[in-house]
Amino acid sequence: MNTQSVNLFHVYFGSLKNCIYNIPELETIIIAKQNQSTLKIIGVFSLRNVSFSDLAKHFPFQNVSVVEFGFMPYWDDLTFEMIPYETDPIFVRGIECELGDFKFPELSIT
């Protein structure tokens, strides 16, 4: 099932609407948040294959020393270190109850 357009709808109108960065030279949109020197890349949507080094050259962020990914990075030109979770992650499928203020990440697929 191709859910990319559904995901983008929720990004544009959800809590990530101020985290969208268009890189027209690469025909790419990144969804990212910077917190001090840490950059969290939540998603990358591109019409072409883009290397991480090309993508990084166009980042509109400064003073980044740590990059975290909200997905498993797929670039051949990138090396990374997996850092263990401090707690066990939660995976949920088919919720049929009210969760109150609890919210899943915008790009999660259940």
Q: Is the dihedral angle over the CA atoms 13, 4, 108, 37 positive or is it negative? A: negative
Tokens of 102: 């609890």
Over the stretch 5-54, which tens digit does the pLDDT of each residue have? Answer: 666 666 667 777 888 999 999 999 999 999 999 999 988 988 899 999 99
Q: Where are the domains of the chain?
A: 1-110
CB distance 21 to 60 below 8 Å: yes
Cβ 68 vs Cβ 74: under 8 Å: no
Q: If you average pLDDT over every residue of the chain, what do you get?
A: 78
Record the tokens describing residue 93, joined without a space.
């499928």
